[in-house]
């Protein structure tokens, strides 16, 4: 069994690997902190709005 590795974003920030967004991430056995970086909450909110707009465009 492996050791649990958890990384947590700084206050006011989110973690992302380009596909997943979270405030805290439990790294898998083959994952690395190097695969994750912090973005601001504003960047996160802008990305979520962009993704929501894309979904609306697809279904209309």
The model's pTM: 0.82
11-56 per-position pLDDT tens digit: 999 999 999 999 999 999 999 999 999 999 999 999 999 999 999 9
- CA–CA dist 42, 23 (Å, integer): 13
| Domain count within the chain | 1
**Range of 16's domain?**
5-59
Please give the angle made by the CA atoms of 23, 3 and 28, to the nearest 5 degrees.
Answer: 50
């Amino acid at each position: 069994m492996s050791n649990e590795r958890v990384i947590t974003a700084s206050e006011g920030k989110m973690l992302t690997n380009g596909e997943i967004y979270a405030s805290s991430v439990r790294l898998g056995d083959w994952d690395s902190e190097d695969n994750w970086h912090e973005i601001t909450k504003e960047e996160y909110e802008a990305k979520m709005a962009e993704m929501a707009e894309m979904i609306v465009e697809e279904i209309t």
